[in-house]
Each structure stands twice: as C-alpha cells, then as structure tokens.
Amino acid sequence: MAHDERGVTPQREDFSAWYNELVFKAELVDRGPVRGTMVIRPYGYRMWELLQADMDRRIKETGHVNAYFPLLIPESYLQREAEHIEGFAPELAVVTHAGGKELEEPLVVRPTSETVVGEMMAKWISSHRDLPMLLNQWANVVRWEMRPRMFLRTTEFLWQEGHTAHADEADAMRETLLALGLYAQVARDVAAMPAVAGEKTPSERFAGAARTYTVECMMRDGKALQAGTSHFMGTNFARAFDIQYAAESGGQQLCHTTSWGMSARMIGGVIMTHGDDKGLVLPPLLAPYQVVIVPIGRGEQADQVLPPARELAGRLVQAGIRTHVDDRPQLSPGFKFNHWEMRGVPIRLELGPRDLAAGTALMATRLGGRKTPVSLDSAPARLNFELTAFQDLLLRRATEFRDQRTLTVDTWEQFASAVATGWASAFHCGEPACEDDIKAATSATPRCIPDDGEPEEGTCVRCGRPSAYGKRLIFGRSY
C-alpha cells in the first residue's frame, strides 16, 4: 500500500519500519559516522533535556549528589568482580594504544561505572559516619551493539547511573526500591507511560547483582520496553573493591551497595507508546514546543497577523508554555500543519484575519477531533488547562491499551497467543532452562515479578511444575 511521501509506513504494516523512519523524519536523530552510534539532533536532545531536568530534580530531592567519574577504566577493575566482567565482556570497547604507543594495561571505555565508583568509595568511606553515600552521575556509556536501533540500542548512549553504599542490607534495599519508585513515577507522570514495577528473575539479573528490579512499559506493538533498572548488589562489589567501614560497635564491616539507571532509551519509549501513523505524539511535559502558532494569510494579511501572533506567543511563554510561531513565509499552512503533526506538538493554534477580528484563535490538538475557538484574552489559562488534559489523556490511553493487551493465562496455547500481541500474566516454575524453552518457542521472556501482583499459587504455564514466586509473572517479547 502506498503512503504519502511525507508520511511514514503505517504501524500495522510494519511497526519497526514506522519507528525507524519516524526518528529521522521528525529530525530527532541522524546516524553517527561509527556503526551503531547516533547524533541526537536539537529537537530530540530537547526531549532528553526535559526528561533529564525532571529526573535530576527528583534525584537531588532524595538526598543524592551528582559527581563525575572517568570514561576510561583500567581493565583490571572489571576483572575483580567475576560475574560483572563475564556479563559485559562481549560488549566492551577496549583502548590498547594511546600517545603513539601500546599501553601497559588496556583501558575499557565505560560500559557502566560500578567498578570505578567502587574503587573511589573504598577510598572515601572509612567510618559508619560516612554512610549512606548517595552518588549519581549523568554520563555517556559504550556497549558494542550488533543490532543498533536509534535510542533503543546504540553503541554509545546517554543515561544517569546512581551508585550508593549503605551500612546494612535493609538500608540498601530501601534505596533500591526508592530508585525503582522514582523510575515508575517519571515514566508515568512525565512520559505518560504506565509502568509495571517488579523484580527480575535470577537469569535476567544485572551481572554481579544480588537482586535486580525493573520498570516495564508496553509499546504500541505489544512489546515490552525495560525503561529503568535498580540493582541491589549485596556485598559483591564491596568485597571485590574492599569497601569497608568501621562499625559503631567496633570492627570492620563490608558496605551493601546499589546501582540504578535510566537512559535516553526512554525517548524511544515515548515514541513507541504514543506515536501514530501521522508521526510523534508527545506528552506536553516532554514536548520541545507545547504550542505552535501558525499564522494564516499571505502578503498584507500576514503582515496584519504576525505581530498579534508574536504577542500571543510572548504571553504564553510568560505563563510557562513552550511556544513557537511558525512564520516561514514560503510554506503553506497545510505544509506547516503536517510538519508539526509529524513532530508531535500537542496543540496547534491557527490565527488568521477572521480569527483576529473575532478575538480568538483556532485550536487543534495533536490527536485531532474538532477545532475549537480559544479567546485570545484567556488563552494562557485555557491552554495550560488543555495541556494538562492532553497529558492525562495520553496516560489514560496508554494504560487502557496495556490493560487490554495483558491477558491472564493458564494454558500454553493461551500463553503463546497472548505474547504474540502483548503480555501474558502466568505462573512460572523459576527454572532457567524452562525460561530458555519459553523464549525459544515464543521469543517471550519474564519481564518481571510484579510488585503489585496478588499472592497466588499455581503450576508453570510451560512445564506444569509448581510456581516458584507465589504470584504470576509478566511475560512479553521485548526491545
């Protein structure tokens, strides 16, 4: 089926093609010169800045402080925690030459910073009075990617990584779940992505972690996106890096550590949770422009309309609304409508001579429906209300979509059918071999043991053995 050359492949025809075309046509990214890397263009980077600012505020409000650790890590650091190096080995980029000669010890370009942070924590922590140590860094990391997809899996990506050290297990577990809660809130309240929070099964854990927790979001093709993870490390890294403290009761104790991260893959999540065949649909809180004003009219009419359009934009900006006037004279209003629809702007205002005479502008939301007149006098208050309503609508729509596509299943046939189009809520025996079997047969993996799942006993949907977790797991295919 042919589609408009300015448009994108419809989702139902090929969701993957839709996504790959959209990130370029909406000018979010371009390809970097090295395979698997991406250039984040200003419009895409503004979305990341908005997400980052909100996340950074929440991190600081919970008592964490930002620091920065080196990009280059001695290879020996990673080798100290055996599971960690084994888990990351295939993805590592290693520097062997610098300054015109071979290095005595190879340097790893950071895939994550537990090791270098651990080394520093061992140096900085000596007493129980130094705890808890609550650090965060905003950084880029490199994990060599064989199947790159913009925002979702690229060789280099942007993220925050929290690293904390605690006197005991209980305090470290509280921290692990605090970070998980932050991610669930940001996904829901900022990105309008309803997240299911829960624990990963042992075979899905982060390399070197004692327990891993995740927030999982459903995309419009029914697949799961892991939107953020939080790890309880126990004393694994403290033992490897000698992170000890003098306890109040006397004697040396190992710290309990955590690490947690959310990355720019969230931008990919926003695209795939809300987008449609016309392009992006952006939650107002992450939209670079929340309102775009399109002046209607050419020549003298344009001269008449432009000053009031700019004056209106100024008042909206003063009211805290990110506003842009599209005053490009060479382009038709229709072209501009399509342009901003593709870029997901939540609200468009059309202002022509007739509207001006009536003291109104014509409002269209990104999801269509009837255009409605908005009084120019009360526009700031009205548009703030409309933007809040649009944000709420996107969350409600995404929640309904996820709930409709999540089926509670008890038989293998039901399971296979559910994960073909969405998620299955099912019992599982907990055996890694059974997980592998399920994945081989359906491409589905256990996404999480949901925190809010009801206690329930049953038999494994695949092998019939008793369930291991006392509740149903969420299974789905994933990105």
Confidence (pLDDT) at 7: 87
The secondary structure of residue 110, as a DSSP letter, is P
Confidence (pLDDT) at 6: 64
Whether residue 119 is contained in a domain is answered as yes
For residue 307, give the CATH number of its domain.
3.40.50.800
3-state secondary structure 270-334: HHHHHCECCECCCCHHHCCCCEEEEECCCCHHHHHHHHHHHHHHHHHHHCCCCEEECCCCCCCHH
Whether residue 280 is contained in a domain is answered as no
Domains contained in the chain, number: 3
**Residue 303, domain extent:** 289-384
Whether residue 176 is contained in a domain is answered as yes
Locate the DSSP E strands across 52-148. Answer: 65-66, 72-74, 93-98, 101-109, 133-142
pLDDT tens sequence for the chain (479 residues): 333 446 899 999 999 999 999 999 999 999 999 999 999 999 999 999 999 999 999 999 999 999 999 999 999 998 888 787 788 888 999 999 999 999 999 999 999 999 999 999 999 999 999 999 999 999 999 999 888 999 999 999 999 999 999 999 999 999 999 999 999 999 999 999 999 999 999 999 998 899 999 999 999 999 999 999 999 999 999 999 999 999 999 999 999 999 999 999 999 999 999 999 999 999 999 999 999 999 998 878 888 999 999 999 999 999 999 999 999 999 999 999 999 999 999 999 999 999 999 999 999 999 988 999 999 999 999 999 999 999 999 999 999 999 999 999 999 999 999 999 999 999 999 999 999 999 999 999 999 999 999 999 999 999 999 999 999 999 999 99
Examine the domain organization and report whether 216 and 293 are in the same domain: no
Confidence (pLDDT) at 415: 98
Examine the domain organization and report whether 82 and 106 are in the same domain: yes
Q: Please give the structure tokens belonging to residue 289.
A: 């422009």
Examine the domain organization and report whether 143 and 242 are in the same domain: yes
Whether residue 399 is contained in a domain is answered as no
Nearest to 163 by CA among 118, 215, 101: 118
For residue 118, give the CATH number of its domain.
3.30.930.10
Examine the domain organization and report whether 233 and 308 are in the same domain: no
Whether residue 66 is contained in a domain is answered as yes
Whether residue 2 is contained in a domain is answered as no
For residue 467, give the CATH number of its domain.
3.30.110.30
Q: Final residue of a domain: which of 274, 300, 318?
A: 274
The secondary structure of residue 84, as a DSSP letter, is H
User: Strands across the sheet with 101-109, in order?
Assistant: 72-74, 101-109, 93-98
- Complete DSSP assignment for 12-32: TT-HHHHHHHHHHHTTSEEE-
Examine the domain organization and report whether 255 and 302 are in the same domain: no
Whether residue 304 is contained in a domain is answered as yes
Whether residue 8 is contained in a domain is answered as no
Examine the domain organization and report whether 251 and 293 are in the same domain: no
Q: Final residue of a domain: which of 239, 274, 309?
A: 274
